[in-house]
Amino acid sequence: MQKNNLNLGIRISAIVVLIISFCVLTVLALDESIMVFENGVYTSLAGYINPTLTSIAITITNFGSFLVVSAVAAMLLVLPLYPDVPSFRKQYDR
């Protein structure tokens, strides 16, 4: 029983620390005080920037754009309208 109380205390402490950290980061971001940290991180990572990786990251980011998500949703909605397309279930059912 005492071990359960200890685990509960640790969990509550961790949650409180995370909430306080989130609040501090939010205030710093809204106050734009975090720009010093952001610039420091960018400066340290700038040497690793690769054009190939940048284009891959941009492509992955564009997969989540509104147009791509809308097109995929439209295709998924239209697909059941074509019953001539053989289903995979029929192909693999025995």
Write out the residue range of the structural domain in which residue 92 sits: 50-94
User: Are 43 and 25 found together in one domain?
Assistant: yes
Mean pLDDT across 86-93:
57
Q: Are 92 and 86 in contact (CB under 8 A)?
A: no
User: Are 45 and 85 found together in one domain?
Assistant: no
User: Are 37 and 56 found together in one domain?
Assistant: no
Which parts of 1-94 fold into alpha helices (H)? Answer: 2-31, 35-45, 51-62, 66-78, 88-92
Question: How many domains does the chain fold into?
Answer: 2
- Condensed to tens digits (0 to 9), the pLDDT of residues 36-68 reads 878 888 888 888 888 898 899 899 888 888 988
pLDDT of 22 above 90: yes
Picking from 46, 47, 70, 49, the residue whose alpha carbon sits closest to that of residue 58 is: 49
User: Are 2 and 31 found together in one domain?
Assistant: yes
User: Are 44 and 8 found together in one domain?
Assistant: yes
